[in-house]
Amino acid sequence: MAKGNDDRKKIPPLKNLNLTPLLDFVVAVIPVLLLSVNFLEYVVLDTSLPVYSDDPTAESSIEKDKQPKLGLSVAITDEGFIIAGQGGILNADGKGTLIRKMTNGSYDYLTLSDKLLDIKNKYPDEWSLIIIPEATTRFEDIVSTMDASRERLSKGEGRRVMFPNIVLGGGIL
Amino acid sequence: MKHSSKKRMEVAELNITALLDMFTMLLIFLLINYSSVSYQVKTSGFIEFPKSYSEKKPTEILNIVVDKYNILVDGNVVVKHDKGVLAPEAIDDNGFRIIPLYTSLVKYSERNKYLSSVNKKIVSGGKVILQMDKDIPFYMLRQIMYTAGQAEYSDFKFIAIKK
C-alpha cells in the first residue's frame, strides 16, 4: 500500500495549457490583417472620348479603322433609351428604338440588354457602341448603361461579350 | 483554521480558451478576405461610388477624384464645385475646359514625359483613373474628360464598386 501511494505522488497534476503567448500573437496579427482587408472590391470600366480635342496628340485610343461600321449608339434620355444605328441600318425610318423607363421611373436595363443582344446576334463582328447621355444624366446611370451594353450575364450561357469598346459621346461635338 | 487560510490564498485563473476560439475564427475570416491589392482607393468620405459587374481590377495611375464638393488630382484639391456647377472663372470661354484642372494635369503630364524619357520602364501614359460620385451629372463629366483630353489624358478608367 505504501508503494502505491508513492507512485501516485510522482504523477504531476494536470494543468491547463498556457495559451497566453498564442493569444498575444493572434492579437498582434489581427490589426495588421484588418488594415489590409478590402471589404469593398473596386473595379474599373474603360472608356474614351470620341476625337474631340483640337490637339492631334490627344486622339481617342480607339483606332480609326475600328470605328463602328454599324454606328450603334444608345442615347440616355428622360424618356428612356434610344437605340440607333447609322444610315438607317437598324431602323429604316432612322428614328431608333425607344425603350421607355419603367413605371417606377428607373431605366429598363434588362430590356436594353435584350435588344443589344439581338443586335449582337445579327452583327457578331460589331464590338463598338457610342453612349450618348443627356447633360443631366447621372454618372451612376451611365455606368449601369455601360454594364448593360458591355456584356450579358445569364445563368445558362455565362458571360456573353457584346459591345466592349464603349465611347462616350453626348452632344459634346 | 489552517484549511480556511489556504483557501484564501488560491489565485483565480482566467479561462482564455473561449476568447482564443473567437480570435482564431476572426483570424481565419480575415485571412480569407486578405488581398494584397496594389491599388488602394482613398475616399474622402464625400463620395459614393456607382456599382458595376465589371471584373477588371484598377492599377496605380494618376487619379482624378470628383466628390460631392471638390475635384482633386492625386489627392490635392484643385477646384471646388456645387452639385456639378463650377464657378464661371474656373471655366474656359468655350465652356468645357476647367482651367485649374487643366493646369494641374499638364504638370503631371510633363512630369510623366520627363520621367519616361529618363527611365524607359515608366510608360508615358495618357491614362487616368476617374473616381466619381454617382450623382455627378454628365455635363461635369464631359468637362472633366474634355480637360483631361486637352492635357493628353484621353483614356479613362471609371472606378466602381463590384456588384
Q: Which of residues 82-101 of B touch A (CB under 8 A)?
A: 96
Residue B81: pLDDT over 80: yes
**Residue B86 pLDDT more than 60?**
yes
A78 and A159 fall within a common domain: yes
A65 with A133, same domain?
yes
What percent of chain A is predicted at pLDDT more than 90? 27
Give the pLDDT band (50/70/90) at residue A58: very low
Report residue A101 as a C-alpha cell: 423607363
Determine contact, residues A46/B155, Cβ cutoff 8 Å: yes
C-alpha to C-alpha distance for A77 and A81, rounded to whole angstroms: 6
Same domain? For A15 and A61 the reply is no
As a whole number of angstroms, the distance between CA A112 and CA B85 comes to 31
Domain that holds residue A62: 56-168
- pLDDT number for residue A139: 94
Q: Do A33 and B135 touch (CB under 8 A)?
A: no
The string of pLDDT tens digits covering residues A127-152 is 889 999 998 999 999 999 999 999 88
Q: Are residues A29 and A101 in the same domain?
A: no
pLDDT for residue B131: 92
Q: Which of A47, A143, A152 to mutate to test the interface with B (most CBs of B within 10 A)?
A: A143
Predicted confidence band at A104 (pLDDT cuts at 50, 70, 90)?
very high
Whole-Å CA distances, B9 to A18, B2, B4, B12: 21, 11, 9, 10
| Residue A48 belongs to some domain of the structure | no
pLDDT at A169: 82
Locate the chain A residue with the closest alpha carbon to B57: A43
A22 in contact with chain B, both atoms CB, cutoff 8 A: yes
The reply to whether A107 and A140 lie within a common domain is: yes
Are both A143 and A93 inside the same structural domain? yes
Per-residue model confidence (pLDDT) at position B106: 93
Q: What is the ipTM of this complex?
A: 0.78
CA distance A168 to chain B (A): 9
Q: Is the pTM of this model over 0.80?
A: no
Average pLDDT of B77-89? 89
- A144 interfacial to chain B (CB closer than 8 Å): yes
What CA–CA distance (Å, rounded) separates B73 from B118?
24
- Which member of B50, B96, B138 has the closest CB to residue A134? B138
A7 with A86, same domain: the answer is: no
Contact between chains at A146 and B52 (C-beta distance less than 8 A): yes
pLDDT at A26: 87
Which of A89-98, A106-115, B19-28, B111-120 is least confident?
Answer: A89-98
pLDDT at B5: 53
Report pLDDT for A112.
Answer: 93
Helices and strands, number each (H, E), in chain A:
4, 8
Q: Is residue A10 part of a domain?
A: yes
| Residue of chain B whose Cα is closest to the Cα of A55 | B150
Nearest 5°: phi and psi at B13? -100, 135
**SS3 call for B98:** strand
Q: Given CB atoms, is A2 within the 8 Å cutoff of chain B? A: no
Supply the DSSP symbol for A145: H
Instruction: Answer yes or no: do A81 and A152 share one domain.
Output: yes
- Between B46 and B3, residue with greater pLDDT: B46
Note whether residue A6 is domain-resident: yes
**Residue A44: inside a domain:** no
B145 touches chain A (CB under 8 A): yes
β-partners of residue A9 are none
- pLDDT at residue number B54: 86
User: At B163, is the pLDDT very low, low, confident or very high (cuts 50, 70, 90)?
Assistant: confident
In a domain, A132, yes or no: yes
- Domain contains A42: no
Q: In chain A, whose CA is at the least distance from the CA of B26?
A: A30
**CA A146, CA A4: separation in Å to the nearest integer?**
85
* Residue A50 domain flag: no
* Least confident among A24-33, A39-48, A107-116: A39-48
- The mean per-residue pLDDT over the stretch A97-102 comes to 90
Q: Looking at the structure, do residues A144 and A62 belong to the same domain, yes or no?
A: yes
Judged against a pLDDT cut of 50, whether residue A173 lies above it is answered with no
Q: Which of B20, B16, B56, B18 is nearest to B39 (CA)?
A: B56
3-state class (DSSP) for residue A101: coil
Q: Are residues A79 and A144 in the same domain?
A: yes
Q: Are A22 and B20 a contacting pair at CB < 8 A?
A: yes
- For residues A75 and A153, membership in a common domain is answered with yes
In a domain, A173, yes or no: no
Interface test with A, best of B34, B52, B93, B106 (most A CBs within 10 A): B52
What pLDDT shows up at residue A61? 47
Which residues of chain A does B41 touch, with a Cβ-Cβ cutoff of 8 Å? 40, 42
Name the domain count of chain A.
2
Same domain, A12 and A69: no
Determine the residue of chain B that is closest to A57 in CA distance. Answer: B152
Judged by a CB distance cut-off of 8 A, whether residue A44 touches chain B is: yes
